Amino acid sequence: MTVYTPRRDKEALTVPVKVVNSGKKRAFYRFRIRVTGAGGFDATASASADVVGLYPGTSWPTELTVRDPGHIPPANPHITIVSVERDVYGPGYQGAR
């Protein structure tokens, strides 16, 4: 997973990210990021590729909009990847793993 430089507006940060499936099987991804910064800004956002999944060698570029009501988005945010989950079975799979 790669996190790119966020874009800032008056109320939110837009954080571009890209997930790449470097495995040998189609996989479903879920991830969460945390953004902190000056003035007490502290927000968490998540996304998931649960519908189709990523085929080997493909990527999923997406953007997360991060807001912290009552706080101005920082000019120099600190972005942490909190978690990345990869599942080759997909959401709702009930069989043996």
Region of 70 on the Ramachandran plot (φ > 0 left; ψ -120 to 50 alpha; else beta): left
Taking Cα atoms as reference points, which of 18, 47, 13 lies closest to residue 30? 47
Task: Look at residue 51 in the predicted model and tell me its pLDDT.
Answer: 74
pTM score, whole prediction: 0.86
pLDDT tens digits for range 30-77: 999 999 999 999 999 999 987 778 999 999 999 999 999 999 999 999
Three-state secondary structure call for residue 39: helix
